[in-house]
Amino acid sequence: MTDFPPIRKAVFPVAGLGTRFLPATKSIPKEMLPIVDKPLIQYAVDEAVEAGIDTIIFVTSHKKGAILDHFDPNSELESLLTAQGNVELRDRVHNIIPDHVSTRYVIQEKALGLGHAVWCAKKLVGDEPFAVLLADDLIRSTGSGCLKQMVAEYHATGSGCIGVEEIPVSMTDRYGIVSVHKDAVGRNYIRDIVEKPSPESAPSNLGVVGRYILPAEIFSLLESVRAGAGGEIQLTDAIARLLENKPLLAHAFEGVRYDCGSRQGFIRATVDYALENADLRDDLLRYIETVKGV
Ligand code: G1P
Question: Has residue 1 been placed in a domain?
Answer: no
pLDDT at 62: 77
Residue 54 Cα to ligand 1 midpoint, Å, equals 25
pLDDT at 286: 94
Handedness of CA 28, 30, 32, 37 (dihedral sign): positive
pLDDT band at 260 (very low <50, low <70, confident <90, very high): very high
Question: Has residue 2 been placed in a domain?
Answer: no
pLDDT at 88: 87
Residue 32 Cα to ligand 1 midpoint, Å, equals 19
pLDDT band at 2 (very low <50, low <70, confident <90, very high): low
pLDDT tens track for 37-81: 999 999 999 999 999 999 999 999 877 788 988 998 888 898 999
pLDDT at 194: 96
The domain in which residue 41 lies consists of 9-291
Question: Has residue 36 been placed in a domain?
Answer: yes
Find the mean pLDDT for residues 243-266: 95
pLDDT tens track for 193-241: 999 999 999 999 999 999 999 999 999 999 998 888 888 899 999 999 9
Q: What is the mean pLDDT of the chain?
A: 93
**Do residues 58 and 103 make contact, with C-beta atoms less than 8 angstroms apart?**
yes
What percent of the chain shows pLDDT beyond 90? 77
Q: How many domains does the chain have?
A: 1
CA distance linking residue 173 with residue 184, whole number of Å:
31
Residue 65 Cα to ligand 1 midpoint, Å, equals 24
CA distance linking residue 147 with residue 139, whole number of Å:
10
Question: Has residue 78 been placed in a domain?
Answer: yes
**Do residues 199 and 169 make contact, with C-beta atoms less than 8 angstroms apart?**
yes
**Do residues 51 and 6 make contact, with C-beta atoms less than 8 angstroms apart?**
no
Question: Which residues line ligand 1 at a C-beta cut-off of 6 Å?
Answer: 114, 134, 137, 175-176, 195, 207-210, 234-236, 261
Question: Has residue 102 been placed in a domain?
Answer: yes
CA distance linking residue 224 with residue 243, whole number of Å:
15
Which residue of 208, 214, 259 sits with most ligand 1 atoms within 8 Å of its CB, as the best mutation to test the pocket?
208
**Do residues 107 and 123 make contact, with C-beta atoms less than 8 angstroms apart?**
no
Supply the CATH number for residue 162's domain.
3.90.550.10
Question: Has residue 259 been placed in a domain?
Answer: yes
Residue 282 Cα to ligand 1 midpoint, Å, equals 35
Question: Has residue 114 been placed in a domain?
Answer: yes
- Ranking 22-31, 118-127, 136-145, 276-285 by mean pLDDT, the lowest is 22-31
